[in-house]
């Protein structure tokens, strides 16, 4: 699956992302990223609430309110300038906070690196994403496609580093993903020893 995703990325997603970066002016690109981040703050607020991080949940809701109004539908990230940071919580992190072990490492079609726990999280996050509830099919799938291409465009520099630095790309991505997710579950302060068989 890793090989299939890599082939699909090199043949389709990476060229689309490079073309997107060439065509879309940087301020517009930033606005599109901000727009989808604003929608993501809704999911983050729900997951912070489920983790009983009430202050963070209200911060996320404040971000949504401020960026949706003053930030013109989320195109401008006004909330960050008002000292309301993005937390980016998802249901995989919520399950981790509840003590669910990550389980085996998986590579999902198109989505890429994941784990058994995070695969369940992806399904739950689908239902907390406001785009899911857009009634018009064409608009909904256009937004999904734009989000995918915009995200891939934002990761072009990271993929260049991977191509240049990794002797074994699969192992590099796996280890980086698992370490990053463990760090996110523990809000940047993971314990020294891991007992839930994340690796």
CB atoms within 10 A of CB 176: 14
CA separation, residue 136 to residues 12, 60, 131, 182 (Å): 26, 27, 10, 37
Kindly give the interhelix angle for 26-50 and 116-128, rounded to the nearest 10 degrees. 110
Among candidate residues 147, 190, 187, the one with its CA nearest the CA of residue 20: 147
Residue 77, number of CB atoms within 10 A of its CB: 21
What tens-digit pLDDT sequence spans the chain (199 residues)?
999 999 999 999 999 999 999 999 999 999 999 999 999 999 999 999 999 999 999 999 999 999 999 999 999 999 999 999 999 999 999 999 999 999 999 999 999 999 999 999 999 999 999 999 999 999 999 999 999 999 999 999 888 888 787 688 899 999 999 999 999 999 999 988 655 544 4
């Amino acid at each position: 699956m890793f090989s299939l995703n890599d082939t699909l990325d090199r043949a389709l997603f990476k060229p689309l992302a490079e073309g997107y970066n060439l065509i879309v002016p940087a301020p517009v690109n930033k606005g599109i990223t901000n727009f989808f981040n604003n929608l993501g703050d809704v999911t983050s607020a729900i997951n912070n609430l489920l983790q009983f991080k009430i202050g963070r949940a209200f911060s996320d809701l404040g971000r949504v309110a401020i960026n949706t109004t003053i930030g013109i539908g989320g195109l401008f990230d006004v909330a960050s300038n008002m000292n309301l940071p993005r937390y980016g919580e998802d249901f995989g992190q919520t399950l981790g906070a509840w003590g669910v072990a990550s389980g085996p490492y998986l590579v999902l079609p198109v989505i890429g690196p994941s784990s058994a726990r995070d695969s369940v999280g992806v399904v739950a996050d689908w239902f907390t994403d406001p785009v899911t509830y857009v009634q018009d099919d064409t608009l909904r799938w256009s937004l999904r496609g734009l989000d995918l291409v915009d995200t891939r465009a934002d990761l072009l520099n990271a993929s260049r580093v991977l191509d240049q630095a990794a002797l074994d790309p699969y192992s590099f991505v796996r280890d980086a993903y698992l370490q990053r997710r463990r760090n996110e579950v523990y809000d940047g302060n993971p314990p020294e020893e891991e007992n839930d068989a994340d690796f």
